[in-house]
A and B are shown apart, each in its own frame.
Chain A
Amino acid sequence: MTTSKRPRWELTVLAYIAAFLMFFPILWMFLTGFKTEADAFVLPPKFFFTPTLESIHAALSRSDYGGHFMNSVISAVGSTLLALILSIPAAFSMAFYPTKRTNGTLLWIISTKMMPPVGVIIPVYLIFLRLHWLDNIWALMLMYTVMNMPVVIWTLYAYFRDIPAEMMEAARVDGANTFQELVNVLLPVSGPAIASAALLSIILAWNEAFWSLNLTSAHAAPLSVYVSSFKTAEGLYWAKMSAASMIAILPVMVMGWLAQRQLVRGLTFGAIK
C-alpha cells in the first residue's frame, strides 16, 4: 500500500468532504442530543448552542430505558456467546477434520443466512405463540443465535483454516483426544478469531429490527424496538429522540470502528479477501 507519488490534494479534499457528508446525519444527531428541546426544534437550525445533558438525562429516565438497554445486551451478547459455543466446535471440525461433505455443509450453512426472515417469520411467530415465548428476551436471543451462527461459523472457519494442522497432530502424538486438541491447542491461539466473530455477531444482533419488532413488545423490547416508538408523535421530541438514539448506537458503532477489517471477511463469507 505504499505509493511513491504524493496524493493529489484535490482528491484528498474530496475525500474529506465525502467523509463529512456521510457522517453528517450522525453528527447532527449527536449535536441534537446535547440540545434542549427548544434549541432542537427551531428555525433556523442552531449549529452553535450551549450544550446540556438535560435531554440525555430525560431520555434515560423516560419509561424503562435501562431495561431496554439490558434487553439489547442480553439478546446481543447472549446470542453471541451461544453462537460461539455452538460454532467453535463446528468450525474446528470442518477446518481440521474435513470430510467429503464439508464444502457442501459450509455452503448450506450460508444458504440458511440467505433465507429472508419473512420466509419463516409466520411459523416462528406461531411456534412462539404456542410456547408462550412471545415478548421473551431469551426467546429473541435464540433467534439471534440462529441468525448469526452462519456468520460466526464462517469467520471462525476462515481463521482456523490458516492454523497449521501440524499443531493438532503434535498434540495427538502426545496423547491428546479431540476435545483436548480443541481446548488446549486451538483455543489459546484463537483469541483474534473469536474476538472478530464476536464483534460481528454483536453488531448484527444489536441493530436487528425485524425479529425484535415482531416478536417482542413492552417487556422484552430491545433498544431497536424502543427507539422505533419515536416514529409516532413522540418523534417531535428531537432532542430526546437523538439522545436516546445516540446512546443506543454508540456501543456498536465503536465496535464497528474496531472491526472494520473483519467485517469484510465475515460478511462476504470469504468471497473477498
Chain B
Amino acid sequence: MTTNLPRTPARPKARGPNTLWLLGPALLVLIVWTQIPFLLSIYYSFQRYNLLYPNRRGFVGFNNFVSLLTDPIFWTSLWNTLVLVGSVLAVTVIIGLFLAVLFYQEFPGRALARTLVISPFFVMPVVSALVWKNMLMHPVFGLFAWIATSFGLKPVDWLAQFPMGSIITIVSWQWIPFAMLLTLTGLQSLSKEQLEAAKIDGANAWQEFRFIIVPHLAQTLSVVIMLETIFLLTIFAEIYATTSGGPGLSTTTLPYLIYLKGFTDTNIGIASAGAVFAVILANIVATFVLRLIGRNLQGSRT
C-alpha cells in the first residue's frame, strides 16, 4: 500500500467539503434496515418468544441456542447446507472453467453462443425450479423419464429418489454461468505473450492449460468460490418450490430450517438463534472476501 502512494492521483483530499449530507442518507438506510434487524435477531435469540403464546415472553439466556444445538435437525440441516454449497461449488467451478476455456477462443457466432450459455443466470430461481421439477424431472411425463424409457431404462423419480442431487443439479445450472462469466473475464486478462512463449517451448494444450492458465486463474477462481459461497448459503426459493425441504429432512438447509422454525412453528426465539448461526457462518466466508476486495481497493487506487 505504501509503495503505491506516490502514484495516487491528486484528489482534493485536504480541502474537501463536508460530504456527510451526500453519504449520510445511504448509510442511514443501510444501518436502519440491516444492522438494527440483526441486533434484534440477537436480542430475540435470548428470548422465549413464540407468536402463538405472545404473553409467555422472557429472557432465557442461552436456552434457545442449547435446544437448537442439541436438536439433531439442526446438525442435519447444517450438513445439508454444506453438502449443497460444496457440491454446487465443485460442479460450477469445474464446468464453468471448462466453458470459459471453450469460449475463450474466437469462433463464428461466439457472442450468441455465450449469451445462450449465461441465460440460466437470469431466470428467476422459482421458475428454474419449477421447470426442472415438472417438465424435466417428472417421473412419468418429464423429458428425462422419456429419454430413459426410450433407451429401455427405468425412469427415475429424481426429486424423490435423489432429492439433494436434484437440487444440486438445478442450482448448479443456474450458477454455472456466473462461474463461467467471471472465469472468462479472468482469462481475458491473461497475456498473449505468455501463451505464445509456451507454445514455442513446445507445450501441448494440456500443459498450457495446467501450467499457465490454471495458476493465472487461481485468484479469479478464489473470488468465484467465495462469492458463490456467500450467495449459495442463502439458497431458498429452489428448495421452497421443489421439495419443501423433504422428503423427510433430506433437503432442509439452514436457511430453510430457520424459515420453518420462524414461519411454520412461529418460534421466534429458536429461529433467531438459527439466524445468528447463519450470519456467523456467512461472516467466516465474508471475512476472506472482504480482505481480498480490500486489497484490490488499495491496488486500484494507484
A and B part of one assembly: yes
User: Interface residues, chain A, CB within 8 Å of chain B?
Assistant: 1-3, 7-8, 11-12, 14-16, 18-20, 22-23, 25-26, 28-29, 32, 41-45, 86-87, 89-90, 92-94, 96-99, 103, 105-107, 109-112, 114-127, 142-143, 145-146, 149-150, 153, 161, 165, 168-169, 178, 182, 203, 206-207, 209-210, 213-214, 223-224, 227-228, 230-231, 235-236, 238, 241-242, 245, 248-249, 252-253, 255-257, 260, 263-264, 267-273
In whole angstroms, how far apart are the Cα atoms of A120 and B255 in the complex?
11
Say whether B34 contacts A115, CB under 8 Å. Answer: yes
Question: Can you give 6 contacting A-B residue pairs, CB < 8 Å?
Answer: A3-B106, A22-B173, A107-B297, A114-B282, A118-B236, A209-B236
In whole angstroms, how far apart are the Cα atoms of A245 and B132 in the complex?
12
Q: Interface digits, B46-89 against A, CB 8 Å rule (1 contact, 0 not)?
A: 00000000000000000000000000000000000000000000
Enumerate chain B residues within 8 angstroms of A25, measured Cβ to Cβ: 120, 128, 131-132, 135-136, 173
Say whether B189 contacts A214, CB under 8 Å. Answer: no
**B37 contacts A by Cβ under 8 Å:** yes
Q: How far is the CB of A269 from chain B (nearest CB, A)?
A: 5
Q: What are the nearest 5 A-B pairs in CB distance?
A: A256-B122, A123-B40, A209-B237, A93-B19, A120-B37
Say whether B126 contacts A228, CB under 8 Å. Answer: yes
Say whether A94 contacts B23, CB under 8 Å. Answer: yes
Partner of A253, one of B102, B112, B119: B119
Say whether A273 contacts B26, CB under 8 Å. Answer: no
Say whether B143 contacts A214, CB under 8 Å. Answer: no
Q: Which of B252-302 contact A (CB under 8 A)?
A: 254-255, 258-259, 262-263, 268, 271-272, 274-276, 278-279, 281-283, 285-286, 289-290, 292-294, 296-298, 300
In whole angstroms, how far apart are the Cα atoms of A125 and B276 in the complex?
16
In whole angstroms, how far apart are the Cα atoms of A125 and B141 in the complex?
39
Say whether A105 contacts B234, CB under 8 Å. Answer: no
In whole angstroms, how far apart are the Cα atoms of A210 and B223 in the complex?
24
Partner of B237, one of A143, A224, A235: A224
* Given A86-B26, A119-B276, A123-B37, A20 and B116 contact (CB-CB distance below 8 Å): yes
Say whether A241 contacts B134, CB under 8 Å. Answer: yes
Interface of A is mostly: helix
In whole angstroms, how far apart are the Cα atoms of A122 and B143 in the complex?
39
Say whether A107 contacts B293, CB under 8 Å. Answer: yes
Q: How far is the CB of B138 from chain A (nearest CB, A)?
A: 9
Enumerate chain B residues within 8 angstroms of A210, measured Cβ to Cβ: 234, 236-237, 255
* Given A228-B241, A245-B127, A90 and B26 contact (CB-CB distance below 8 Å): yes
Partner of A165, one of B12, B107, B114, B290: B12
Partner of A23, one of B103, B110, B119, B300: B119
Say whether B120 contacts A15, CB under 8 Å. Answer: no
A168 closest partner in B (C-beta): B12
* Given A118-B278, A119-B275, A178-B19, A15 and B223 contact (CB-CB distance below 8 Å): no
In whole angstroms, how far apart are the Cα atoms of A223 and B237 in the complex?
13
B140 closest partner in A (C-beta): A43
Enumerate chain A residues within 8 angstroms of B227, measured Cβ to Cβ: 267-268, 271
Say whether B135 contacts A238, CB under 8 Å. Answer: yes
Say whether B181 contacts A263, CB under 8 Å. Answer: yes
Q: How far is the CB of A100 from chain B (nearest CB, A)?
A: 9
Say whether A235 contacts B133, CB under 8 Å. Answer: yes
